[in-house]
Chains A and B, each alone.
Chain A
């Protein structure tokens, strides 16, 4: 049957037969890098048009409808526009840092893709600390925002960067705690083991109410971590023009923009992996017939379906809720999400010890 893992195995076999080990590794790395960059470009194009269509339909508008059939080529036109624009560097800016910041954002997004399992046996790097790796590396993201904010030498950028720093540092806690709630149940940080543990049902359903609470907190926290509305204080248009990327233009701005969407994809992929079983089809306990029927849908479709559903939920938040003030934002985290997720973690631990989960 056609699947990603078969294709990658075939390529690996063919390369091993024709080249020595080092060259095989190098060629595979080049292929993986190209695929990652290609995935980024595709994600940028798809998510931008998706965001615009979703927002338009939620606001009873039509959305882009001129370029291509039903406006589907609009993001292509936007890309061309951004590419031919001049990339300005302001005179008072710290030039090295200013030009480095978008690339740091992009490289971090690329690093984060490594442990995501896109389909059965199709993963770049199944490292032992998979989930911890994602939470660790995603904290470098804030550095690129702080770099951009400081190097622009602009008060809006600086304010946006500081807000974003405070926001990401605080919401990392509850995101981490809600991930931890599921890690307590799986007993492993490795992505492949987390997915394997959901063979008889997704953790969202197996973990009773605490898993659902953890899931809700996770979604709220990652929305804040990726700086998306209603937590987009870092780039609040009405107050800070565009926050940390006020001074950016052309392709450098596009990299920030792309990094935001790729990060949304990654955190949604992580959420899908941990709570919704990653590429694992919908299985219910011992219903063998039902489980076998579900297995006919390819695993990559399951993964992308779940991920895009979560992306849709995050977009849904964005176009439903007004932006929070900075004090409300920090109150929400420190007075509500963090205590609730800590109590929730205790509950899950109790549940795991007593073996109450399925």
Chain B
């Protein structure tokens, strides 16, 4: 075992432990923080894989956006220092079983699938390559999905503005 794999196992262990903690803790805020550590762990694995752009986007989107959103909704709705109600034992067993089944299914699929090495040219993982690919209209280009997603975001933004816009009182 070399240094690289030691780092991988450490990061993976952090991710898994935090993931388990985030569903097993009874403090809702701690659950959010453990979720945050899980997401950071996944970003760490991306860094380990040398996919730096995806790692940074993972942090920007999930940590800077989604976890902050979750924490804000906890702040606005929950009382500090309160624990969630204890769940029934049957429910616990059922959810554990469900998780185990999903895990087993995924692992089964991964082990049964035989991955073939592609002969397609390797696309670099720098920002420049990703950006070029994102806006290219040629082979494997992502211009159309990119534009569709931006339309979706634009629609969402306009929706937000319409909801947030305070209607002016009728002039009398």
A adjacent to B, CB under 8 Å: yes
When each residue 39-51 of chain B gets 1 if its CB lies under 8 Å from chain A and 0 otherwise, what string results?
0100000000000
A157 to B5, CA, bound (A): 41
A147 to B80, CA, bound (A): 11
Taking A150-B75, A158-B80 as contacts, is the C-beta distance between A169 and B126 under 8 angstroms? no
In the complex, B143 has a CB within 8 A of chain A? no
Contacts of B126 in A (CB 8 A): 128
Query: In the complex, how many angstroms separate the beta carbon of A30 from the nearest chain B beta carbon?
Result: 13
In the complex, A132 has a CB within 8 A of chain B? yes
When each residue 48-82 of chain B gets 1 if its CB lies under 8 Å from chain A and 0 otherwise, what string results?
00001100110110011001100110110000110
In the complex, A298 has a CB within 8 A of chain B? no
Taking A143-B67, A143-B71, A165-B71 as contacts, is the C-beta distance between A189 and B127 under 8 angstroms? yes
Contacts of A172 in B (CB 8 A): 64
Query: In the complex, how many angstroms separate the beta carbon of B77 from the nearest chain A beta carbon?
Result: 13
Query: In the complex, how many angstroms separate the beta carbon of B153 from the nearest chain A beta carbon?
Result: 14
**Inter-chain residue pair count (beta carbon < 8 A):** 84
Q: Considering the complex, give the chain B residue whose CB is closest to the CB of A96.
A: B30
In the complex, B11 has a CB within 8 A of chain A? no
A240 to B36, CA, bound (A): 27
Taking A132-B56, A139-B59 as contacts, is the C-beta distance between A22 and B127 under 8 angstroms? no
Q: Considering the complex, give the chain B residue whose CB is closest to the CB of A93.
A: B81
Taking A140-B40, A153-B80, A188-B128 as contacts, is the C-beta distance between A94 and B63 under 8 angstroms? no
Contacts of B59 in A (CB 8 A): 136-137, 139-140
In the complex, A304 has a CB within 8 A of chain B? no
Taking A128-B127, A150-B75 as contacts, is the C-beta distance between A142 and B81 under 8 angstroms? no
A187 to B128, CA, bound (A): 8
User: Which positions 117-149 of chain B face chain A at CB distance < 8 Å?
Assistant: 125-128
Contact B30 A140, beta carbon cutoff 8 Å: no
User: Which positions 48-92 of chain A face chain B at CB distance < 8 Å?
Assistant: 92
Contact A132 B71, beta carbon cutoff 8 Å: no
A132 to B47, CA, bound (A): 13
A128 to B53, CA, bound (A): 8
In the complex, B169 has a CB within 8 A of chain A? no
A94 to B80, CA, bound (A): 9
Contact B52 A165, beta carbon cutoff 8 Å: no
Q: Considering the complex, give the chain B residue whose CB is closest to the CB of A134.
A: B56
Contacts of B40 in A (CB 8 A): 140
Query: In the complex, how many angstroms separate the beta carbon of B166 from the nearest chain A beta carbon?
Result: 14
Q: Considering the complex, give the chain A residue whose CB is closest to the CB of B129.
A: A128
Query: In the complex, how many angstroms separate the beta carbon of B37 from the nearest chain A beta carbon?
Result: 10
Contacts of B125 in A (CB 8 A): 128
Contact A129 B80, beta carbon cutoff 8 Å: no
Contacts of A143 in B (CB 8 A): 33, 36, 63, 67-68, 71
Q: Considering the complex, give the chain A residue whose CB is closest to the CB of B27.
A: A94
Residue in A100, A128, A165, A189 whose CB lies within 8 Å of B72: A165
Query: In the complex, how many angstroms separate the beta carbon of A148 from the nearest chain B beta carbon?
Result: 11
A153 to B125, CA, bound (A): 44
Residue in A92, A133, A142 whose CB lies within 8 Å of B68: A142
Contact A128 B52, beta carbon cutoff 8 Å: yes
A96 to B81, CA, bound (A): 12
Contact A133 B72, beta carbon cutoff 8 Å: no
In the complex, A135 has a CB within 8 A of chain B? yes
Most buried by B among A132, A136, A153: A136
Query: In the complex, how many angstroms separate the beta carbon of B69 from the nearest chain A beta carbon?
Result: 9
Query: In the complex, how many angstroms separate the beta carbon of B52 from the nearest chain A beta carbon?
Result: 5
Contacts of A146 in B (CB 8 A): 68, 71, 75
Query: In the complex, how many angstroms separate the beta carbon of B73 from the nearest chain A beta carbon?
Result: 12
The contact sample of 30 A-B pairs, CB cut-off 8 A, is A22-B2, A22-B3, A26-B3, A92-B80, A94-B29, A94-B80, A94-B81, A127-B52, A128-B127, A129-B52, A129-B56, A129-B127, A136-B56, A136-B57, A136-B63, A136-B64, A139-B59, A142-B64, A142-B68, A143-B33, A143-B36, A143-B63, A150-B29, A150-B80, A151-B29, A153-B81, A165-B68, A172-B64, A187-B128, A188-B128
